Chains A and B, each alone.
Chain A
Amino acid sequence: MSDAFLKLESVKTHFPIYSGILFSRQIGAVRAVDGVSLEIKKGEILGLVGESGCGKSTLSRTIMQLVPATAGRIVLEGQDLSKLSASEVRQARINFQMIFQDPYASLNPRMTVFDALAEAIATRAPLKGDAMARKVIELMERVGLSPQAMKKYPHEFSGGQRQRIAIARALAPEPRLVIADEPVSALDVSIQSQILNLIKKLSREMGLTMIFVAHDLSVVKYISDRIAVMYLGKIVEIGEAISILESPQHPYTRALVSAIPEPDPDKERLRNRIVLEGDPPSPIDPPSGCSFHPRCPYAIEACSLTTPEFFKTKNTNLAACIRVNEI
């Protein structure tokens, strides 16, 4: 498809494990991302969900070129990112920015808000003096910060305000793709909704294409157009946000959706919850066939033999499960 803004073709990111001191050799690999193919249209917000260790952060870092991909292609607007040299990547990165989870760790404590934002703006436009100040003020107002706070340091702000600074910094070079890696998980509920509203408003205003990574499905549902569910380095289901939450098809997505606690005592009491057994297996030695089969309540023998392809389901979702239309 030519209208894909960002295209991933069986991207793999493996981290090698070495053993031995003198004759060190590779004894295995952590298959953090193990063959992900995706297409994102321009202006779309894709939610990426999964539990810790499923590879969603590694995938976003791989797209950002912060971690080299082991195999596969990452194509942004027709440009193959994995073929670029280090300096070309730095150039290209103006167009894709990242918002990190922890606003306490992602800002330089020795830079004032002005310095932090000016540095980011300068990557796109070499402004000086008043022009730069105007631009910084505009950005701060845009994310709902008072421009008077421009000369303050990050420690003088609360978590929610810091996340606003981090968002302003990511948007400063006017990127076309933004990857937000759990931007609200460190925040309280009341602050969380402020930041979600802000992200949604800005993405609409600036026509951003976004990958929104989170482990909380209800947050992702609110913000994204489509949702991709990851398990052990692979995408197991992808589809419209509403249909993923309201009629999940893949057994893992079903368990995930059913595990979300609902703030309604009556519904909670009557609810029939699918409680999965055990923990996700290790990505060093993933199970054969479908990586979910050891925990899957519907697994049959064939599940451990073949790696499932994506199947069309009853609704428009795509699910990587061979039994998806039987169960």
Chain B
Amino acid sequence: MALLEVRDLKTYFHTRNGVVRAVDGVSFDLEKGQTLGIVGESGSGKSVTCYSLMRLIPQPPGRIESGTAKLDGVDLLSCSDDVLQQIRGKRVSMIFQDPMTSLNPYLKISTQLIEPLCLHEDMPKKVALKRAIEALEEVGIQDAAKRVHYYPHEFSGGMRQRVMIAMALITKPDVLIADEPTTALDVTVQAQILELIKQRQKELGTAVIFVTHDLGVVAGFCDQVRVMYGGRIVEAGSTQDVFYRPAHPYTWALQKSIPSLQRKGDELYTIPGMPPVLKEQITGCSFAARCEYAVERCRTQPVALKTIAEKHQSACVRFQENELQGADL
């Protein structure tokens, strides 16, 4: 059994202008120690998926309409608040995109770092502080004994993200959800942070859900990839499969529009049209309107993820029926 099993997760936002189907039936498994990448553009529902797992969706307007997310048999989406409190921050923790706003500016790093230990492990403050200093050292912050008493503003962006990582991993969680943890950082700092997460993951055996829009980061970092579009997973497979044998026109289009893969001088490949408006109920494939390979069937027939090769699933009808193959793309 997988460590975390997410089944048919639906999170809708009920706004004055209609229902926004931000996440519309997402399922995936996360194995112990695995790194699962969720890729997609803004508005594809990748962050909302993570926030739903942690039950951090503002309700209202948001509402988790259906689905289960079982961590060792406990459903995170329907368990009581008390049970959730014991899991959240202890067995599942999260790193957010923006290290500038995700730390409390009024509290010293020390207070924020020892909080999970005092809450979840009933550790006396002194012991917890010692552990906090070690945790900072583990993420490569020098002079930790002194800097643990600093306020967040005294750290740079990369350093703050290190503090966030230290905080998230201090209780040795089973699952770490990282929501675009390096997007706000410079490339050289991004490389440092990715190395750090990788190394800590190896030491602790934590499973990581890594949300990003950067296919380059996914390539170097993840074992499994889920590609999201319009609130649904359109392709699921190992990193190798998704990169070398993409089985959905959207994945393929996404790869083609990365500037670094294109010869200089050629016109860059672009996906025609705009991302879908999630307020409208879309029958059929949400990518059909922008897809070069779309046929009538794609617009009318409901789509679902289906296995097309071993451990490789696609939501493209034409791939499922072998009308399109990797070679056509």
A261-297 to B contact mask, C-beta < 8 Å, 1/0: 1111111110101011001000000000000000000
Chain A contacts for B255, CB-based, 8 A: 263
Minimum C-beta distance from A164 to chain B (A): 12
B252-265 to A contact mask, C-beta < 8 Å, 1/0: 01110111111010
Q: Identify the closest chain B residue to A188 (Cβ).
A: B41
Contact A194 B270, CB 8 Å, known A188-B42, A221-B259, A279-B156: yes
Minimum C-beta distance from A324 to chain B (A): 19
How many residue pairs between the two chains, A and B, have CB atoms under 8 Å in the bound complex? 119
Are A276 and B257 in contact, with the CB atoms below 8 A?
no
Are A265 and B219 in contact, with the CB atoms below 8 A?
yes
Task: Determine whether A196 belongs to the interface, using a CB cutoff of 8 Å to chain B.
Answer: yes
Contact A52 B270, CB 8 Å, known A190-B41, A279-B156: no
A101 to B259: give the CA distance in the assembly, Å.
18
Task: Determine whether B303 belongs to the interface, using a CB cutoff of 8 Å to chain A.
Answer: no
Q: Identify the closest chain B residue to A161 (Cβ).
A: B274
Give the size of the chain A interface in residues (CB under 8 angstroms): 41
Name the contact of B213 in the complex, choosing from A51, A188, A194, A222 (C-beta under 8 A).
A188
Contact A218 B259, CB 8 Å, known A197-B268, A261-B216, A263-B215: yes
Interface segment among B66-74, B188-196, B321-329: the answer is B188-196
Are A222 and B270 in contact, with the CB atoms below 8 A?
no
Chain B contacts for A266, CB-based, 8 A: 240
Contact A51 B186, CB 8 Å, known A189-B257, A192-B257, A193-B270: yes
Minimum C-beta distance from A268 to chain B (A): 3
Task: Determine whether B158 belongs to the interface, using a CB cutoff of 8 Å to chain A.
Answer: yes
Interface segment among A18-26, A252-260, A307-315: the answer is A252-260
Are A193 and B269 in contact, with the CB atoms below 8 A?
yes
User: Most B CB atoms within 10 A — which of A222, A263, A275, A276?
Assistant: A263
Task: Determine whether B304 belongs to the interface, using a CB cutoff of 8 Å to chain A.
Answer: no
A279 to B194: give the CA distance in the assembly, Å.
15
Task: Determine whether B31 belongs to the interface, using a CB cutoff of 8 Å to chain A.
Answer: no
Chain A contacts for B191, CB-based, 8 A: 258-259, 261, 273, 275-276
Minimum C-beta distance from A234 to chain B (A): 17
Task: Determine whether A215 belongs to the interface, using a CB cutoff of 8 Å to chain B.
Answer: yes
Task: Determine whether B134 belongs to the interface, using a CB cutoff of 8 Å to chain A.
Answer: no
Are B189 and A190 in contact, with the CB atoms below 8 A?
no
Task: Determine whether B159 belongs to the interface, using a CB cutoff of 8 Å to chain A.
Answer: yes
Q: Identify the closest chain A residue to B240 (Cβ).
A: A265
Name the contact of B254 in the complex, choosing from A189, A196, A279 (C-beta under 8 A).
A189
Given contacts A189-B254, A190-B257, A193-B257, 14 further A-B contacts (CB under 8 A): A189-B213, A190-B253, A190-B275, A197-B268, A215-B187, A216-B187, A219-B259, A221-B259, A222-B262, A262-B260, A265-B220, A265-B239, A268-B220, A279-B189
Q: B-contacting residues of A (Cβ < 8 Å)?
A: 51-52, 158, 160, 188-190, 192-194, 196-197, 200, 215-219, 221-222, 241-242, 255-256, 258-269, 271, 273, 275-276, 279
